[in-house]
Amino acid sequence: MSAAFDERIRKNLADEALQQAVYAGTARLAAKRGEVVADAVLPDYQELRAQANAVKKHTIENLDHYLRQFEANVAARGGKVVYCRDGGEVAEFIVKLARERGVSVLVKAKSMTSEEIGLNEHLEERGVEAVETDLGEYIIQLARQRPYHIVAPALHMTRYEVADLFERRLGVPRETEIERQTMIARRVLREKFLAAGMGVSGANFLVADSGAVALVENEGNIRLTTSAPKVHVAVAGIEKMIPRAQDLAVFLKLLGRSGTGQPLTVYTSFLSGPRRPGEIDGPDEFYVVLLDNGRTRLLADQYKRQSLYCIRCGACLNHCPVYRKIGGHNYPWVYSGPIGTVISPQFLGIAHDPWLPFASSLCGACAEVCPVKIDIPNILLALRAEEKKQEAREKKGRLERLGFRMWAWVMCHPRIYAFAGRMAGAFLSSEDGWISKPPPLMNVGPLAAWMSRRDLPPPPRRSFRDMWRSR
Partner 1 sequence: MMSRENLLHRVRTALGRNVDQPPAPAPPPRIVVPEAGMEERIARMFAAIEALAGKTYRVPGAAGARDTVAAILDGRCALASDSCFLQECGITALPNVRSGVSERAELRELAATLAAGITSADYALADTGTLVPRRRA
Q: Does 238 bind partner 1 (CB under 8 A)?
A: yes
For partner 1, the closer CB: 301 or 386: 301
Cβ at position 279, least distance to partner 1 in Å: 5
Cβ at position 201, least distance to partner 1 in Å: 15
Q: Does 372 bind partner 1 (CB under 8 A)?
A: no
- Among 31, 72, 249, 385, which residue sits at the site for partner 1 (rule: CB under 8 A)? 249
Q: How many residues bind partner 1 (CB under 8 A)?
A: 51
Q: Which of 70, 98, 35 is nearest to 243 (CA)?
A: 70
Cβ at position 246, least distance to partner 1 in Å: 4
For partner 1, the closer CB: 163 or 228: 228
Q: What angle do CA 85, 86, 87 make, to 5 degrees?
A: 145
Q: What is the DSSP letter of 142?
A: H
Scan residues 195-234 and list those touching partner 1 (CB under 8 A).
Answer: 223, 227-228
Positive or negative torsion for Cα 386, 392, 394, 399: positive
Q: Residue 168 is inside which H or E element, if any?
A: helix 159-170
Q: Does 13 bind partner 1 (CB under 8 A)?
A: no
Q: Does 190 bind partner 1 (CB under 8 A)?
A: yes
Scan residues 72-101 and list those touching partner 1 (CB under 8 A).
Answer: 81-85, 89, 92-93
Cβ at position 113, least distance to partner 1 in Å: 15
- Among 12, 62, 330, 378, which residue sits at the site for partner 1 (rule: CB under 8 A)? 62
User: What b-and-e string marks burial along 249-272, b requiring 16 or more CB atoms within 10 Å of the CB?
Assistant: ebbbbbbbbbbbbbeebeebbebb
Mind giving me the DSSP string for 332-366?
Answer: SSS--HHHHHHHHHHHH-TTTSTTGGGS-----HH
Q: Does 66 bind partner 1 (CB under 8 A)?
A: yes
Sheet containing 267-271: which strands, arranged edge to edge? 241-242, 205-207, 212-217, 267-271
The burial class, CB within 10 Å (0-12 / 13-18 / 19+), for 80 is: middle
Give yes or no for a contact between 30 and 260, defined as CB atoms under 8 angstroms apart. Answer: no
Cβ at position 381, least distance to partner 1 in Å: 22
- Among 246, 361, 429, 436, which residue sits at the site for partner 1 (rule: CB under 8 A)? 246
Q: Does 54 bind partner 1 (CB under 8 A)?
A: yes
- In the chain, % helix, strand, coil (3-state, to 5) comes to 55, 10, 35
Q: What are the residues binding partner 1 (CB under 8 A)?
A: 44, 47-48, 51, 54-55, 58, 61-68, 71, 81-85, 89, 92-93, 190, 194, 223, 227-228, 238, 243-244, 246-247, 249-250, 263-264, 266, 268, 275, 279-282, 290, 292, 296-297, 299-300
